[in-house]
Structure 1
């Protein structure tokens, strides 16, 4: 698990290779990732946007951005958390992702950015 804290917001990431949805012969490797966002601050926050940077081991880079996460813009009270699962496909058996969330602090209507730590996406047989 990879973890980072930015401005009182803790991001934890776990990854899982999705063998049943992958097709290595066609350069299609599917990964799922579970992200837990914990509000360690003293203020209520809302996740507004996400921005991802996706890297294949062949040098291909992609950027994905948009509103919320999996169709939601969750509000997290102090001490609260939000967990979701999403996925990403790569054209190689190894890669990485990183990014950031745009958060909104509700008490003073301030927006701020929270880092999503870089995490590796690796097919299990590569770890042997």
Structure 2
């Protein structure tokens, strides 16, 4: 599990390779990832936007920006958490993702929180050390 904390808001990510949705012959690899956002702060916050940077094993990057996550803009009161699962395809057998969420307090203050960088690994992915 990968973890980051910004302004007492914890984000954890658990990636999972999905061999049943992947095909090495077609250079299609697919992962799901489950994100849990926990508000340990004193203020109620709303998740407004997301920004992902997705990098494959060849170093190609793709940026994804949008409103909310999985069609929602969850509101988290102190002590509350929100969990969702999404997915990502890559043309290589490994890669990684990192990102940020824009949050907003009830008073209208906007700020960003980190999503921890996390590795997308498959059994076909070959790792080399230089």
Q: Name the TM-score, length of structure 2 as normaliser.
A: 0.94
Output one character per residue of 1:67-123: Cα deviation in whole Å (capped at 9) or x when no partner.
Answer: 0000000000100000000000111111000000000011x2100000101000000
Helix, strand or coil for the counterpart of 2:25? helix
Helix, strand or coil for the counterpart of 2:20? helix
Give the structure 2 partner of residue 114 of structure 1. Answer: 113
Over the aligned positions, Cα root-mean-square deviation in angstroms equals: 1.3
Query: 2:60 matched to 1:54?
Result: no
- Whichever structure has more helix as a proportion of its residues is 1
1:124, 1:42 → 2: CA distance? 43
Unaligned runs of 5+ in 1: none
Output one character per residue of 1:2-58: Cα deviation in whole Å (capped at 9) or x when no partner.
Answer: 001001110000010011111111111000000000001000000000000000011
Helix, strand or coil for the counterpart of 1:30? strand
Helix, strand or coil for the counterpart of 2:88? strand
Give the structure 2 partner of residue 78 of structure 1. Answer: 78
Helix, strand or coil for the counterpart of 1:20? helix
Helix, strand or coil for the counterpart of 1:55? strand
Unaligned runs of 5+ in 2: none
The answer to which of 49-58 and 117-126 deviates more is 117-126
Cα drift, residue 124 of structure 1: 3.3
What is the aligned residue count? Answer: 127
